[in-house]
Amino acid sequence: MVRSSGTKRAILDAALELAATRGITGTTMDDVAERAGVAKGSLYYNFSSKDQLFEALLEEGVGALAENLRAARGTLVGWEAIEALVGALLDRIAANAALAKLMASEIFRTDRAWQKTLFALRHEALAVFAEAIEEAGAGAVAPDAAAPASGTSTIMAASVFGAVLMSGLEWLVFEPERSRDEVAAAILASLSGAFAPR
Amino acid sequence: MVRSSGTKRAILDAALELAATRGITGTTMDDVAERAGVAKGSLYYNFSSKDQLFEALLEEGVGALAENLRAARGTLVGWEAIEALVGALLDRIAANAALAKLMASEIFRTDRAWQKTLFALRHEALAVFAEAIEEAGAGAVAPDAAAPASGTSTIMAASVFGAVLMSGLEWLVFEPERSRDEVAAAILASLSGAFAPR
DNA sequence: GTCTATAATAAGATAGAC
DNA sequence: GTCTATCTTATTATAGAC
pLDDT of the residue at A196: 85
Residue A52 lies in a domain: no
A&B contacts, CB < 8 Å = 248
Q: Does residue B43 sit in the same domain as residue B100?
A: no
**Residue A25 to residue B35: CA distance in whole angstroms:** 21
Residue B41 lies in a domain: yes
Residue A120 lies in a domain: yes
Residue B99 lies in a domain: yes
Residue B14 lies in a domain: yes
Residue A109 lies in a domain: yes
Q: Is B176 on the interface with A (CB under 8 A)?
A: no
Residues present in chain A in total: 198
Q: Does residue B61 sit in the same domain as residue B36?
A: no
Q: Nearest CA of chain A to the CA of B47: how many Å? A: 21
Q: Which nucleotide is nearest to A50 (CA to C1')?
A: C12
Split at pLDDT 50, 70, 90, the class of A24 is very high
- Which range marks the domain in which residue A81 is found? 59-191
- Domains contained in chain B, number: 2
Q: What pLDDT, in 10s, does the model give residues B100-149?
A: 999 999 999 999 999 999 999 999 999 999 999 998 876 544 444 455 66
**Residue B37 to residue B42: CA distance in whole angstroms:** 10
Q: Does residue B43 sit in the same domain as residue B96?
A: no
pLDDT of the residue at B182: 97
At residue A104, the 3 state secondary structure works out as helix
Residue A142 lies in a domain: yes
Residue B166 lies in a domain: yes
**Residue A34 to residue A11: CA distance in whole angstroms:** 10
Q: Say which CATH number the domain at B73 has.
A: 1.10.357.10
Q: In the predicted model, is pLDDT for residue A5 greater than 70?
A: no
Q: In the predicted model, is pLDDT for residue A145 greater than 80?
A: no
pLDDT of the residue at A151: 84
Q: Does residue A28 sit in the same domain as residue A126?
A: no
Q: Which nucleotide is nearest to A30 (CA to C1')?
A: C11
**Residue A188 to residue A190: CA distance in whole angstroms:** 5
Contact A113, A24 (CB under 8 A): no
pLDDT of the residue at B115: 93
H or E element that contains B163: helix B153-169
Q: Say which CATH number the domain at B42 has.
A: 1.10.10.60
